[in-house]
Amino acid sequence: MATEFVIFTDESVKDGAYFSNFYGGVLVRSRDLLRVTAQLSECKAEQNLHGELKWTKVTENYLDKYKTVMDAFFDLVAADLAKVRIMFTNNTYVPQGLTSEQRQSEYHRLYYQFIKHGFGLVFSNEEHDEPKRVRLNMDQMPTSREETAKFKSFIEALSRNPEMRRANVDFDKRQIAEVDSKDHDLLQCLDVVLGAMTFRLNNQHQVKPAGQSRRGKRTVAKEKLYKHISARVRVIYPHFNIGESTGTQGDLVNRWRHPYRHWKLVPRNHDRDMTRTKP
């Protein structure tokens, strides 16, 4: 009998001050999905959070409630009931030699790389030797129906990738869906984590309103939530560096094993523009 991995994906800032092209994903084994979603739903209800959680909605009044939900989420991550992956690019690495078609399709090309490599699926045989099926629930994509259909066909073709075949991992475009984050607490939690990392890596915690000498209350609340999330990540991985790719400690299988990882994607053909370095 095939094992099913359910992956929820989202994306955030495309052009940040220092880091761009943020993609995030959370993987749950289908056997754990009901338990995971029930725990998050119950936690939200206990906090009287009946609407959609979003990073953009974080305020001082809701800070403690969001912290509580993030604790419930990271309890699941620490227990390896959910695996989180965050991918981004550093603006100092400037791609070279791209065609106009490659630039135009950058959004889907990066998404493809994230799904192909982000979770280390080619190493998942360590856990399951039997066939594995991937079900993708992707936050609604800002692209045309034709572009999205073409993208899904490329994802389905991953099933024919030699490494995926050796790992018994199968993609079926009928199992690739665009979903509304309002209906999925896992996507909402992912949005908050992705937003927190985007916020800190692009120094948005330092932003002050025009003409003001102090930061706004919402910015202060977001920084506090980022620090809370960062502390939870560092319980799993002490001294975690959010702006670099997470190491494998000498074993590539950790790309699958680890419950939480970051990936700084560096173009194979690039120049460095040090004027875009983060201060």
If we measure between CA atoms, which residue out of 5, 48, 23 comes closest to residue 110? 23
3 state DSSP class of 125: helix
pLDDT at 213: 84
Render pLDDT for 18-41 as a digit per residue (tens, 0 to 9).
999 999 999 999 999 999 999 999
Domain for residue 175, yes or no?
yes
Taking 70 as the pLDDT cut, the residues of the chain under it are 1, 128
Separation between Cα atoms, residue 272 and residue 31, nearest integer Å: 45
**Which residues share a beta bridge with 171?**
134
pLDDT at 215: 93
Q: How far apart are CA 242 and CA 240, in angstroms?
A: 6
Question: For residue 56, what are its two tokens?
Answer: 């953009």
Residue 8 lies in a domain: yes
What ranges in the chain are assigned the alpha helix state H? 30-46, 63-78, 100-104, 106-117, 145-156, 162-166, 185-201, 217-236, 254-257
**Helix or strand (DSSP H, E) at 88:** strand 83-90
Return the closest-CA partner of residue 82 out of 130, 38, 49: 38
Collapsing DSSP states into helix, strand and coil, what is residue 87? Answer: strand
Question: What confidence score (pLDDT) does residue 1 get?
Answer: 63
What CATH number does residue 143 fall under?
A: 3.30.420
| Confidence at residue 24, expressed as pLDDT on a 0 to 100 scale | 97
Specify if 171 maps to a domain.
yes
Give the per-residue pLDDT at 182.
93
Domain that holds residue 39: 3-52+79-180+237-276
Q: What is the pLDDT of residue 115?
A: 96
Beta strand 3-11 pairing with 19-29: antiparallel
- Flag whether 92 is in a domain: yes
The C-alpha atoms of residue 83 and residue 28 are separated, in whole angstroms, by 7
**Which phi and psi (to 5°) does residue 88 adopt?**
-160, 170
Supply the Cα-derived Rg of the chain in whole angstroms: 19
Tell me, rounded to whole angstroms, the distance of Cα 220 from its chain centroid: 23
The confidence score (pLDDT) of residue 166 equals 93
Domain presence at residue 196: no
d(CA 143, CA 161): 25
Is residue 220 one of the residues assigned to a domain?
A: no
How many domains is the chain partitioned into structurally?
A: 1
Q: Residue 155's pLDDT is what?
A: 95
29 is a domain residue: yes
Span 227-238, pLDDT tens digits? 999 999 999 999
215, 207 in Cβ contact below 8 A? yes
Within a domain: residue 261? Answer: yes
